[in-house]
Amino acid sequence: MKIIMLGAPGAGKGTQAVKLSEKYCIPHISTGDILRTNIKSGTELGKRVKAFLDNGQLVPDELVIDLTIDRVKRDDCKRGYILDGFPRTIPQAQEFESALENDGEKIDYIIDIEVPDENIIQRMSGRRTCSHCGATYHILHNPTKIEEICDSCGKRIELRDDDKPETIKKRLVVYHEQTQPLMDYYTIKGNLVKIDGTLGIDEIFNSIVEILGE
């Protein structure tokens, strides 16, 4: 079972990808993790990625696609995988599909977790992170026992720059401009499934499982 998870930043696609990975025993593949792993391992692709990042440049589509294709060809992906954060654009989707078709493969489901922008801003701006141990909280949905103090290590939690409302709004603008067209692209192809992302985590998960099957 090969799945692509789509959704705006903060829509919860990563959370659902982890749960689906555990249920179906297939790897959850994040493009961010792929980049970091290759850089850390010092692979040839990783060295190319690092060169772009060190120069403050975006990693080109061609390189991201090569890294992703390399990852999904590994043995642990024989039964399937869940892609999180890729593709982000129609050209990426087309190139990836062509590569799969060359191997006689295809994506089975594209799952779009839909959440209104105002909900996402509220969710993400309420997140707090411990810079010491990395634990995450939410001031409304998962608060610390002692205000602004991490339950795990006792250090102070903070609002990351990425989670500030003004930053989130900018990220959403980029998402709608670059990634939103993918929805139309996959709708035409007929394998896009839309999920109400305003529901609870378990409700969203159950909705997806109903579609994918047990």
Indicate which residues carry an active-site annotation: 13, 88, 127, 160, 171
Question: How many whole angstroms separate alpha carbon 178 and alpha carbon 9?
Answer: 13
Mapping DSSP to helix (H, G, I), strand (E, B) and coil, where does residue 125 land? helix
CA pair distance 71, 77, nearest whole angstrom: 8
Of the candidates 165, 146, 208, 192, the one whose C-alpha atom is nearest the C-alpha of residue 15 is 208
Run of H or E including 30: strand 28-30
Helix (H, G, I), strand (E, B) or coil at 77: helix
User: How far apart are the C-alpha atoms of 147 and 102, rounded to whole Å?
Assistant: 55
